[in-house]
Amino acid sequence: MKTPYKNIYNVLKLNRFIVLAVVACALLSSTFSVWMVFNTNQKALNSAFAINTDGSIIPLKLVTQKENFRVEALAHLDLFHNYFYNIDASNYERNLEKALWLGNSSVDNLYRQKKADGVYNRLLQYSLVQKVLSIESRISENNGSYGFTTTTIFEINRGTIIDTYELVSTGNLIMVDRNFPNNPHGLLITNYFENTLKKLNDES
């Protein structure tokens, strides 16, 4: 029994289909490869880097995040020290309440200590005005933990006498959820401590 020959046209159609399928797959593969190269190149162009002081490379995005944190931290410290030390008989309760939102129990403990020592009673009794003149803060980072040292210059107006003081305080900053308007920067002061208080002028 003889084996029948296949129809030559069917064989050619099958070969043409295979060739077209291979060409289509090759085009798709080439297009995908070109897209991947282009996409990778764009990401590389948009991801700039900065050189750290020790020579290591830091993504610029991380640098920007740290710069943003520094701006927020300085604003947070400025806000706190203004609320906590810029007080008089008419606003001290309101200002101190706002200041307590910006720190943890270390700030609350200092407030209670000052209250027990009669600081705020004297403010009321003698109508004292305590005015902040300047606030200068330095932020430091150590293994992801942020510390600060703040120098606050303020004056106490006793009517005929104005005394100027320099207060150096320290503490740490941690990130928390933002709570507008109570805590707009999403930071919390911890381990707050008044290190030194120095009088800058003599009584006259």
Whole-number Cα distances in Å, 119 to 60, 115, 128? 47, 6, 10
Provide the residue-wise pLDDT of the chain in tens; the chain has 204 residues: 555 555 676 767 777 778 788 888 888 888 888 877 777 666 654 555 555 555 555 555 555 667 788 999 999 999 999 999 999 999 999 999 999 999 999 999 999 999 999 999 999 999 999 999 999 999 998 888 999 999 999 999 988 899 999 999 999 999 999 988 899 999 999 999 999 999 997 644
Tell me which residue of 157, 95, 156, 90 sits closest to 124, measured CA to CA.
90
Task: Check residue 79 and give its pLDDT.
Answer: 96
> Distance between CA atoms of 52 and 61, rounded to whole angstroms?
13
Tell me which residue of 150, 125, 131, 154 sits closest to 139, measured CA to CA.
150
Question: Quick one: tokens of 10?
Answer: 């069917």
Peptide bond into 181 cis (omega under 30): yes
